[in-house]
């Protein structure tokens, strides 16, 4: 027996040796290693089949039923249905079984259809053709048949079928270009590198002759991390080991570009590929409305149990007398007499539970689900949220959180790419203390790039010129930019400009492209990377070549990147660029103070700054650096940590060259959006990795901070001067003192807090209970609660999520929203209650991991203030209405038991019990919850403070819930006792017959259906033809159904107790009078309550509704105005007054306002509209145009 094999199998499946957990060995081409090298242990890996579907043909029914009955309400109704089947209950099992069957079936069909679509998508992917190298030839097979170790050939524009290690390319330099749009949304071409020892293999036979193994880590979802090494066996020599990293790994879903073909070996297949691991489901988020629904259900379940218990007790109390226990008309059987009283009581209790179980609305869940699913389309259909530039509109990734958009209290936003455009433009650079500006203006003329440099210093000395050249070379060499030699625009190739070749730069970082283009404008052009040599064209039109030896990649911890290059003269140079906080501590010489002052000045102006430094390496220092890097890269364990240590050793003793300034403009209407959110009572926090000065300038520009805002600083700089404890308590005293004074003063001081990452780490340390100082978290939260805006700068991605979690878990438990556009924002997007991704230039990771995705930050205003507002009021009404109508429905049944000896006699017919929630009353509330608009869209956008009316789940609080429940009980009492006293001892039909119990129940049911439907009609403010059709159509359907149900002998029924009952009831005049009277009395209290509340203490929403009624029908909205703008003259074909890029004012030419405006303009008052401010309304008519690009002032 092979004991080695046995030992390895045991070690693989037991926890004793972790090597099997952390790494895997791949045999390229499934070839065994040569004898004496290492033991050949064949390992089993999954095939390349992608499975995104949830069910199979065989497990769909049991698995789907199991998942549905995990929901408490469904399981409860299943138990009720089983009780009806087992014991003798007053109602048919159909009354519970049919609604439950309807809900289960609808949900199963929806989920089954979605899964069928996933099956189709999986099949199309798994059956894609793939070229595999077998025995020196290329064979075509299907994607799902690929195995780990197969050598794959991929051609240009084909998608990689699995995760592959890049072996060789059709390009001579062993590189290939790849786009990863489907993975992270980045459309730029990324460069990947073949293993140096295999890049020479150009044919199938050569590749097939490769004898090698790959050792790599087990699959993990990080797209940008890979650790491995390849061992290449050549004859009987020792194997050659080469490091493998993310630059060698081609990911499934990426596409090959600008390369004819490549050869690669499969290392991760199927559900172990990084793409599959990234698309696994995220944690389920639950909205506050859903939590309220569950709490209300528990209350109603307690009411149901109480009703059943009370009726059971009263039944046996009433039957205590023998003549009542067994009356002459209802003798019990012998078995019933012998049954123990406890068993009989328990059976009766279950029977009452069945009788009253309709108080729990089973159909509410399916209605809510349909409302969320259908309602989510309003976001995707919104044309105002469509971006022409991107060609995309808003996306809904989950519809479960629609109403949560109306409950947001905190917005956490990224800065770069979210508040700003992430469209970088090189502004200036500072070299050795001197400023260089591309295309400088001198005497009114724009000088060329080279001239502008000479203008600044026409005769630079040798020392100065050397620093200048080093600085420009550093920025031309220290980057990961790719050069595209030509570009096709509208079918015309762009590659020659004025006889000279023109290069186009592509990079995943907009900053790098801006810097390289800035250098080009200053006379230094990066040409290309060829055969590992970087070529640049200097200002003297001379081509310089540098051999690229090592790239020390940028990461968010180091916040810098470096390259080691070798010049033609044999000199080794290390160029480094990065954030000032990471460069200055490593600098040993240079004009540090001058550059630092310039960096701070640029940061205050809102520019993004980077510092540039260099170091000359001797050959021995270079070899030492190579040793550190090679040793770290070959490590399979803790490679990232070892690389960080190696980088730390190499990037030291730097000479500061200068700094750059790049502008990232604020997004359109970002300031207006933030101002609207503030008015809506939403606190906005900016979380960014930028330096404090740059971020603060952006916050002022975006109106997060105002000039009157008092800034509180909680930064590393301040905690160096004072202890963290003292700073926190001082800030806390400041805000508490101001809060106490604000009650006495009209002018309330506005606070803004700035905190950096280092101080935040100290605040969030778990062991802060030090010497009675208290918990720093609570003090920090208290300060934040009293600040209108907070800026967190120098944040790592994990710290962003920690901030969101800190606010989420505070004692108020506010609803949080996180919005960002990059991979570094994903953690906070997943952490927040609602995550929104911006479809930006940093890829689509944020949009893919978010709950909602929008093209621009400005669309957040409508998303929250309009869509969120509507979603919340609609679903809140839906939930409360469902409980209300079920109380109205079942409480008369409870009262009826007091008049039938607690005999469990149903008040309503079986058909009415079954169809009440399914047909008669469900469609009107579903439509209401989709189209209701209690105020207009214009009013919501014009007055953001209306958002405060629905804050903190105000429409689903316990007092509101209690009001709806009491209203339902009141209406039920009116239905029952109104019918009871009106019909007491009275003959109603022409032949002298009295109404029986089924006529009595049908009368109550008729009043019930009309009352709850008309109650919804009274609550509806936004009427459309479809509202009329559904509401009046539902009532008509009930009448027609009742006529048919009671007017025809149905052959499938053994008995028909409802035959002619409904028509007999309608033939009675007093019945008609009773129906009208009871409906009126039932609806009257709610109408009176609303009238009194509107008159005595109206809400902001109710005041807005009144204003809309009072304004003329042509008025739509108040618009922001821009003052002091030049008058453009009269427009003969326009009836609009233009007051901004997207704002218009229209006036009737006959109106007093139009006449005043005409007079005002005729007198030359076009440059000052302030006198018209009381009239700034949007009407229709008039013909003047103002163009107002200036600052907007809301009226």
**Sequence-ordered strand ranges (E) for 522-593:** 525-530, 533-537, 543-552, 560-567, 572-578, 587-589
Annotation marks residue 414 as catalytic? yes
Cα distance from N-terminal residue to C-terminal residue, the chain: 89
Contact 613, 826 (CB under 8 A): no
The Cα 637–Cα 652 span in angstroms is 25
Q: Which of 208, 400, 414, 851 is catalytic?
A: 414
User: Taking CA 646 as the corner, what is the angle to CA 642 and CA 650, rounded to the nearest 5 degrees?
Assistant: 170
Alpha-carbon distance values, 814 to 290, 650, 806, 834, 865 (Å): 16, 47, 11, 12, 17
The Cα 713–Cα 751 span in angstroms is 11
Task: Pull the structure tokens for residue 154.
Answer: 């991929």
Question: Would you tell me how many other CB atoms lie within 10 Å of the CB of residue 365?
Answer: 19
Of 901, 905, 894, 907, the C-alpha closest to 316 is 901
The Cα 977–Cα 975 span in angstroms is 6
Quote the DSSP letter at residue 253: T
Question: Would you tell me how many other CB atoms lie within 10 Å of the CB of residue 493?
Answer: 10
420: helix, coil or strand?
strand
Give bridge partners of residue 438 from the DSSP assignment: none
Is the dihedral angle over the CA atoms 428, 429, 433, 435 positive or is it negative?
negative
Task: Pull the structure tokens for residue 1113.
Answer: 């029908």
The Cα 233–Cα 889 span in angstroms is 82
Of 461, 590, 479, the C-alpha closest to 526 is 479
Task: Pull the structure tokens for residue 744.
Answer: 């006495």
The Cα 862–Cα 645 span in angstroms is 48
Alpha-carbon distance values, 159 to 181, 253, 556 (Å): 11, 6, 30
Alpha-carbon distance values, 876 to 150, 964, 1044 (Å): 57, 12, 35
Q: How many Å is the Cα radius of gyration of the chain? A: 38
Of 773, 696, 772, 692, the C-alpha closest to 729 is 773
CA dihedral of 504, 508, 512, 516, whole degrees rounded to 10: -10
Of 415, 1079, 409, the C-alpha closest to 785 is 409
Contact 929, 878 (CB under 8 A): yes
Of 980, 977, 975, the C-alpha closest to 1009 is 975
Task: Pull the structure tokens for residue 26.
Answer: 């791949």
Residues recognised as catalytic? 414
């Amino acid at each position: 027996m092979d004991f080695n094999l046995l030992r390895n199998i045991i070690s693989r499946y037991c926890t004793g040796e972790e090597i099997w957990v952390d790494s895997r060995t791949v045999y390229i081409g499934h070839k065994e290693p040569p004898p004496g090298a290492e033991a050949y242990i064949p390992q089993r890996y999954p095939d390349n089949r992608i499975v995104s579907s949830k069910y199979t043909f065989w497990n769909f029914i049991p698995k789907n039923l199991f998942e549905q009955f995990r929901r408490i309400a469904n399981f409860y109704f299943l138990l009720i249905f089983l009780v009806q089947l087992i014991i003798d209950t007053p109602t048919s099992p159909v009354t519970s079984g049919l609604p439950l069957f309807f809900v289960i079936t609808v949900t199963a069909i929806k989920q089954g259809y979605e899964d069928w679509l996933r099956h189709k998508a999986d099949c199309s992917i798994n059956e894609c053709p793939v070229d595999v190298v077998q025995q020196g030839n290329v064979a075509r097979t299907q994607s799902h048949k690929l195995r780990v170790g197969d050598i794959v050939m991929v051609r240009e524009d084909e998608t990689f079928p699995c995760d592959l290690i890049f072996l060789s390319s059709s390009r001579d330099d062993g590189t290939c270009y790849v786009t990863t749009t489907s993975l992270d949304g980045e459309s730029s071409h990324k460069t990947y590198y073949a293993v140096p020892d295999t890049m020479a293999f150009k044919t199938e036979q050569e590749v097939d002759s490769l004898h090698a193994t790959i050792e790599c880590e087990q699959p993990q979802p990080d797209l940008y991390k890979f650790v491995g090494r390849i061992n290449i066996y050549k004859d009987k020599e020792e194997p050659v080991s080469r490091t493998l990293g993310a630059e060698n790994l081609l990911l499934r879903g990426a596409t090959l570009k600008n390369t004819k073909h490549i050869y690669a070996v499969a290392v991760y297949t199927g559900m172990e590929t990084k793409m599959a691991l990234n698309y696994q489901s995220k944690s389920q988020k639950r909205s506050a409305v859903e939590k309220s629904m569950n709490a209300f259900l528990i209350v109603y379940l307690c009411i149901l149990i109480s009703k059943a218990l009370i009726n059971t007790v009263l039944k046996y109390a009433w039957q205590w007398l023998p003549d009542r226990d067994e009356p002459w008309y209802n003798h019990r059987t012998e078995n019933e007499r012998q049954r123990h009283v406890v068993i009989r009581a328990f059976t009766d209790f279950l029977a009452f539970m069945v009788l009253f179980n309709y108080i729990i609305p089973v159909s509410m869940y399916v209605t809510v689900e349909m409302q969320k699913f259908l309602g989510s389309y309003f976001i995707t259909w919104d044309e105002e949220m469509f971006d022409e530039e991107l060609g995309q509109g808003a996306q809904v990734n989950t519809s479960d959180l629609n109403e949560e958009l109306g409950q947001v209290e905190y917005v956490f936003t990224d800065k770069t790419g979210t508040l700003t455009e992430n469209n970088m433009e090189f502004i200036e650079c500072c070299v050795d203390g001197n400023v260089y500006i591309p295309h400088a203006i001198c005497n009114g003329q724009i000088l060329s790039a080279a001239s502008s440099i000479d203008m600044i210093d026409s005769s630079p000395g040798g020392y100065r010129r050397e620093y200048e050249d080093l600085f420009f070379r550093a920025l031309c060499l220290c980057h990961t930019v790719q050069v595209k030699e030509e570009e096709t625009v509208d079918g015309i190739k762009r590659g020659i400009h004025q006889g000279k070749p023109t290069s186009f730069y592509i990079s995943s970082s907009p900053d790098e492209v801006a810097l390289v283009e800035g250098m080009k404008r200053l006379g230094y052009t990066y040409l290309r990377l060829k055969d590992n040599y970087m070529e640049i064209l200097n200002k003297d039109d001379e081509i310089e070549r540098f051999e690229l030896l090592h790239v020390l990649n940028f990461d968010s911890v180091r916040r810098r990147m470096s390259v080691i290059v070798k010049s033609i003269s044999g000199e080794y140079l290390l160029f480094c660029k990065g954030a000032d906080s990471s460069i200055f501590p490593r600098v040993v010489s240079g004009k540090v103070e001058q550059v630092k002052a310039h960096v701070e000045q640029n940061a205050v102006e809102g520019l993004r700054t980077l510092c540039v430094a260099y170091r000359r390496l001797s050959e021995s220092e270079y070899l030492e650096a190579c040793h550190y890097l090679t040793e770290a890269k070959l490590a399979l364990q803790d490679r990232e940590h070892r690389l960080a240590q190696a980088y730390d050793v190499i990037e030291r003793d730097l000479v500061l060259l200068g700094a750059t300034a790049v502008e990232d403009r604020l997004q359109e209407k970002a300031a207006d959006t933030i101002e609207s959110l503030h008015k809506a009572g939403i606190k906005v926090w900016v979380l960014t990795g930028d330096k404090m000065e740059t971020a603060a300038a952006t916050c002022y520009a975006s109106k997060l901070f105002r000039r009157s805002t008092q800034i509180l600083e909680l930064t590393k700089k301040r905690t160096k001067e004072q202890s963290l404890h003292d700073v926190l308590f001082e800030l806390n005293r400041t805000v508490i003192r101001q809060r106490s004074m604000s009650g006495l003063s009209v002018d309330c001081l506005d606070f803004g807090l700035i905190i950096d990452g280092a101080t935040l780490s100290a605040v969030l340390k778990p062991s802060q209970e030090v010497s009675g100082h208290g918990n720093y978290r609570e003090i920090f939260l208290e300060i934040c609660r009293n600040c209108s805006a907070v800026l967190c700068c120098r944040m790592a991605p994990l710290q962003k999520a920690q901030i969101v979690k800190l606010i989420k878990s505070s004692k108020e438990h506010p609803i949080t929203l996180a919005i960002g556009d990059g991979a570094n924002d994903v953690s906070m997007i997943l952490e927040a209650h609602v995550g929104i991704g911006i479809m930006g230039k940093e890829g689509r990771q944020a949009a893919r991991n978010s709950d909602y995705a929008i093209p621009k930050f400005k669309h957040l205003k409508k998303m929250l203030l309009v869509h969120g507002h509507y979603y919340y009021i609609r679903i809140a009404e839906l939930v409360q209405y469902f409980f209300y109508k079920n109380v109205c429905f079942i409480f008369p049944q409870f009262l009826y038991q007091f008049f039938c000896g607690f005999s469990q006699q149903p008040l309503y017919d079986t058909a009415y019990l079954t169809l009440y929630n399914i047909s008669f009353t469900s469609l009107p509330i579903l439509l209401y919850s989709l189209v209701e608009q209690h105020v207009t869209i214009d009013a919501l956008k014009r007055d953001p403070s209306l958002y405060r009316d629905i804050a903190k789940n105000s429409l689903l609080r316990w007092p509101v819930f209690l009001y709806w429940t009491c209203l339902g009980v009141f209406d039920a009492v009116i239905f029952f006792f109104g019918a009871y006293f009106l019909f007491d001892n009275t003959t109603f039909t022409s032949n002298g017959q009295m109404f029986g119990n089924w006529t009595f129940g049908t009368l109550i049911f008729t009043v019930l259906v009309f009352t709850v439907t008309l109650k919804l009609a009274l609550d509806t403010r936004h009427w459309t033809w479809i509202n009329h059709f559904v509401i009046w159509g539902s009532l008509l359907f009930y009448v027609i159904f009742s006529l048919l149900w009671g007017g025809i002998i149905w052959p499938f029924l053994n008995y028909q107790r409802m035959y002619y009952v409904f028509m007999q009831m309608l033939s009675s005049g007093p019945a008609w009078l009773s129906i009208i009277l009871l409906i009126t009395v039932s609806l009257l209290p709610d109408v009176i309550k609303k009238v009194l509340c509107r008159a005595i203490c109206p809400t902001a929403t109710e005041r807005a509704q009144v204003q809309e009624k009072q304004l003329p029908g042509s008025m739509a909205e108040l618009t922001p105005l821009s003052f002091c703008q030049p008058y453009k003259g009269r427009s003969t074909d326009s009836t609009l007054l233009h007051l901004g890029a997207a704002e218009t004012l229209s006036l009737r030419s006959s109106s007093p306002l139009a006449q005043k405006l005409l007079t005002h303009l005729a007198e030359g008052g076009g440059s000052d509209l302030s006198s018209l401010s009381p009239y700034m309304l949007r009407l229709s008519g008039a013909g003047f145009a103002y163009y107002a690009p200036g600052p907007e002032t809301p009226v």
